[in-house]
Amino acid sequence: MTDDAREYWDRQADAFDDEPDHGLRDEHVRRAWADLLLPLLPRAADVVDLGCGTGSLSVLLAQAGHRVRGLDLSDRMVAAARAKAAAAGVDVGFTRGDAASPRLGAGSCDVVLARHVLWALPDPAAALARWVELLRPGGLLLLVEGRWSTGVGLRPDDCHDLVLTVREHAEVRPLPDPALWGRPIDDERYLVVSRGRDDR
């Protein structure tokens, strides 16, 4: 990613959590995300949250007993995420880095999570290939994506097909529930769940 992208997200950091699904400040929104994600994860999983922003999902998963690392391009996002984890009393390893090519070891995690990241990358297919390398056999890839009313984003079928270039399994689950977003939505938002089958 470019310096321009880093500077853009640095500028967004102060107001980032004002969006209900970013800050998870509303208990109903927070509960909706917990109800969506936690049942999918194996017990006490090693999770990497790529493009973690201010760390709300990282903290949520850490509070549920998972070992979480968060990575974001923006120094200011990472600083906010570290402060959020400290305030919540959880240990999350937040670092600055490029979500498209994270400097993490192959086979180092059970779950790769990326929310609203893939659509913005210059080479989504290459990023997905790298993300899958991070997973242990049978690992779980979770992508929260959308095709927004502004016209940007990824259509569900396109995201599904991209995942199938690097994995054998992908399932698209629409996310129309206003509880996840803190308001009604009029665009396409969805979760792609991809479970590894190479050890089954």
Within a domain: 107: yes
Within a domain: 170: yes
Q: Domain with 186 in it: what CATH number?
A: 3.40.50.150
The pTM (predicted TM-score) of the whole model is: 0.95
- pLDDT value of position 12: 84
> Among residues 73, 81, 78, which one has the least CA distance to residue 101?
73
In the chain, how many domains are there? Answer: 1
Q: Report helix, strand or coil for 27.
A: helix
Alpha-helix residue ranges (DSSP H) falling in 118-187 = 124-134, 156-164, 178-181
Within a domain: 188: yes
119 is in which domain, residue-wise? 3-8+27-35+43-195
Element (H, E) at 113: strand 109-115
CA 174 – CA 146 distance, rounded (Å):
9
Does pLDDT of 156 surpass 80? Answer: yes
For 86-145, how does the pLDDT look when each residue is reduced to its tens digit (9 = 90+)? 999 999 999 999 999 999 999 999 999 999 999 999 999 999 999 999 999 999 999 999
Within a domain: 174: yes
Q: Are 134 and 163 in contact (CB under 8 A)?
A: no
- pLDDT value of position 1: 55
Within a domain: 119: yes
